[in-house]
Amino acid sequence: MTYEKFLRILVEWQYELNSYISSTIRSLNDENSLSVFLSILFVSFVYGAVHAAGPGHGKALVAFYFTSNKSDYKKAFQMGYMISIIHAISALIFTFGIFFILKTMFRQNFNNFSQIAMQISAVMIMCVGLYLIYEAYKSRKDKDKIVKKVQKSMVVVAFSAGVVPCPGVMTIVLFCIVLQQFILGVLAAVAMSIGMGLTISLAGILSIAINKKTSGKLREKRYILEIVGALLVFTLGLFLFLSSSDLR
Amino acid sequence: MKKVFVYLFLFISFIQAHPHTFIDVYPTLHVEGSKIVKIHIKWKMDDMSSAMLIMEFDTNSDGKIDEKENDYIYKNYFVSLSKYHFYMDIIVKNEIVTLPNPKNFKASIEENRVCYSFDIDKKYEVKGTKFDFYDKDFFVAMILKKEFVKVNNKVAKITGEDKDFYYMYRMELR
C-alpha cells in the first residue's frame, strides 16, 4: 500500500469517526447515557489513534530522537504517553481557558495561542537537537556514559511535542462544552490523547528497531547515526518554527 | 535516496497537518449544449467544527446567519481562503485555469452545520474540464461523493486522486 492510499483510508475513517462522535454526543440522554458515554470514549480513543497516524503529532520528532539515542522499547511507550498526557492537558487548558475566560473569538484566539505554543515548541526542539548533536559528538568513543544524561532530554522532547494543543482534541472538548457535557469533554480528550500516544509510541518503536539493526552494522561509527538523528531533530524544530508563522 | 529526502521534508513541512475539519462539497452544475453555464458550490462543515464557528458567527444567537453576520464571515473568513483557491482548482485541457472570484456568497446554518455557498460565474466546456477539491495543507479534508452532485443532462464522475500528503476528489462530467 502506498502512503497516499494509506492517507485516503485515514481521511475516510476520520470522517466517519468524527461524524459518529458528534451525532452520538448529540444523542446522549438519561436513558442511554452509560452505554453511549462509554462508546463515545472508545471511539474517541480509536479516533485519536487514527488521527495521529496522519502527518504531525511529533511522530517524526520521536523517531528522529530515538535514532540519535540508544533506548529500549519501553522508553518509546514512555515517550508516547508523556506526549499524550501533555497533549491532553494542553488541549484542556487552552479550550476551557479560551471558552470561559476569553469567551469570544474562539477560533482566532486558538490560532494566536497555537502559534505561540508552536514557536515555543520549535525553539525547544531545536535546543534538544543541538544538545543531542553535542552529546553524540562528545560520546563518540564512550557513549554508554551519557545514556542516562540523554534520557533526561526525553521529558523536554515530550513537552515540546505535546505542548502544541491538537485542534482535533480541542474541537471535541469544545463541542462537549457547548452541549454542556463537561465531564464527557474531559474524558474524551483523555481517551483521544491515549489513542494518539499509542500511535506515537509505535513511531518510536519502529525507530528503535531500525536503530538496533543498523547500530550492529555501524559498530564504532554509530555516533554518525546519532548525529544524523540529532540533526534531523534540529531541522524539524527549524521547519516547525518557520511554518508556525503561517497558521490558519 | 533523493526521493526519501523529498518525502522527509514534505513530511516535516506538513507537521501541522492531518485534517481537523471536514467539509462536504455539494456542487450544482447547469449544462446547456456543450457548456457548463452555471456552477454553484455549497460547503457543509462537520458538526463539531460548526459548533466552534457558530459561537463566533451567530452573534445574536438566533440560530441563523443574518446579513450583517454574513458580511462579517465573508470579509474575515471567506475572502482569506482565496490563497487556498477556495479549496478547488478548475482544470481545462489539463491546465489549471485561474479561478474567478466566487460570487453571491451566502453563509447559513443547517441542522447545526455551518454552510457556505457561492457561484463561479464563468462558462466552461463540458469536455476536457475537471474540478478538483482539496486543501494542499491538509488542514481541511474536502469530501465529495457522487450523491452530493446535482447536474442536468450529464452524469458526474467522481474519482479520488492520491497526491503527496493530501487526498483530493476530482469531478468531471460525462
Is A79 within 8 Å of A62 (Cβ atoms)?
Answer: yes
Nearest chain B CA: its distance from A145 CA (Å): 31
In B102-146, DSSP assigns E strands to 103-110, 113-120, 124-125, 129-133, 140-143
Residue A79 is inside which H or E element, if any?
Answer: helix A73-97
Taking an 8 Å cut-off on Cβ atoms, the answer to whether B48 and A243 are in contact is no
Say yes or no: A235 contacts chain B, CB-CB below 8 A.
yes
Say yes or no: B139 contacts chain A, CB-CB below 8 A.
yes
**Between residues 66 and 125 of chain B, which touch chain A (CB distance below 8 Å)?**
112
Nearest to B56 among A8, A105, A248 (CB): A105
Of the candidate ranges A60-69, A145-154, B79-88, the one whose mean pLDDT is the lowest? A145-154
The reported pLDDT for the residue numbered A130 is 84
- CB neighbours of B43 closer than 8 A, spacing ≥ 6? B23, B24, B25, B26, B115, B116, B117
Phi, psi of A21 (to 5 degrees): -60, -45
The reported pLDDT for the residue numbered A224 is 72
- CB neighbours of A71 closer than 8 A, spacing ≥ 6? A151, A204, A208, A211
Q: Indicate the Cα dihedral angle A157, A158, A160, A162, nearest 10°.
A: 160
Residues of B whose CB is below 8 A from A18: 22, 46, 48
Give the helix ranges, DSSP H, for A98-221.
106-138, 147-162, 167-178, 182-218
| pLDDT confidence bin for A145, thresholds 50/70/90 | low
B56-102 pLDDT per residue, tens: 899 898 999 999 999 999 998 999 999 899 999 999 999 999 999 99
The reported pLDDT for the residue numbered B111 is 93
Phi, psi of A139 (to 5 degrees): -100, 20
| B93: number of Cβ within 10 Å | 10
The reported pLDDT for the residue numbered A67 is 73
Taking an 8 Å cut-off on Cβ atoms, the answer to whether B162 and A7 are in contact is yes
CA distances from A86 to A164, A166, A181, B152 (A): 9, 11, 22, 53
Residue A181 has pLDDT above 50, yes or no: yes
CA distances from A133 to A29, A67, A138, A180, A231 (A): 55, 12, 8, 49, 7
N- to C-terminal Cα separation, chain A: 31
CA distances from A145 to A68, A70, A138, A142, B160 (A): 15, 11, 10, 6, 53
Cell numbers at residue B112, please?
Answer: 447545526
The reported pLDDT for the residue numbered A99 is 80
| pLDDT confidence bin for B114, thresholds 50/70/90 | very high
The reported pLDDT for the residue numbered A2 is 65
Closest A-chain CA to B144:
A12
Q: Is B44 helix (H, G, I), strand (E, B) or coil?
A: strand
Closest A-chain CA to B15:
A56
A37-54 pLDDT per residue, tens: 999 999 999 999 888 876
Of the candidate ranges A109-118, A206-215, B12-21, the one whose mean pLDDT is the lowest? B12-21
Of the candidate ranges A179-193, A212-226, B63-77, the one whose mean pLDDT is the lowest? A212-226
Say yes or no: B166 contacts chain A, CB-CB below 8 A.
yes
Chain A and chain B share a number of CB contacts under 8 A equal to 109
- Highest-scoring range by mean pLDDT, A121-125, A209-213, B6-10, B134-138: B134-138
Residue A3 has pLDDT above 90, yes or no: no
Is B23 within 8 Å of B116 (Cβ atoms)?
Answer: no
pTM: 0.78
Residues A24 and A39: their CA atoms lie apart, in Å, by 9
When scoring A107, A233, A244 by the number of chain B Cβ atoms within 10 A, the one with the most, hence best to mutate, is A107
Residues B138 and B21: their CA atoms lie apart, in Å, by 9
Is A223 within 8 Å of A136 (Cβ atoms)?
Answer: yes
Among all chains, which residue has been given the C-alpha cell 515540546? A160
Among all chains, which residue has been given the C-alpha cell 522527509? B8
Q: What is the DSSP letter of B74?
A: I
Residue-averaged pLDDT of chain B: 87
Phi, psi of A92 (to 5 degrees): -70, -45
Among all chains, which residue has been given the C-alpha cell 534531523? A232
Residue A172 has pLDDT above 60, yes or no: yes
The reported pLDDT for the residue numbered A167 is 81
Rg of the Cα atoms in chain A: 20
| pLDDT confidence bin for A55, thresholds 50/70/90 | low
The reported pLDDT for the residue numbered B104 is 97
- Highest-scoring range by mean pLDDT, A72-81, A192-201, A212-221: A192-201
Residues A44 and A173: their CA atoms lie apart, in Å, by 11
Residues A66 and A71: their CA atoms lie apart, in Å, by 7
Is B141 within 8 Å of B19 (Cβ atoms)?
Answer: yes
Taking an 8 Å cut-off on Cβ atoms, the answer to whether A4 and B12 are in contact is no
Residue A70 has pLDDT above 70, yes or no: no
Domains and CATH numbers, chain B: 19-173 (2.70.170)
- Highest-scoring range by mean pLDDT, A84-88, A152-156, B72-76: B72-76
> DSSP letters along A59-73, please?
HHHHHHHHHTS---H
Q: Is B130 helix (H, G, I), strand (E, B) or coil?
A: strand
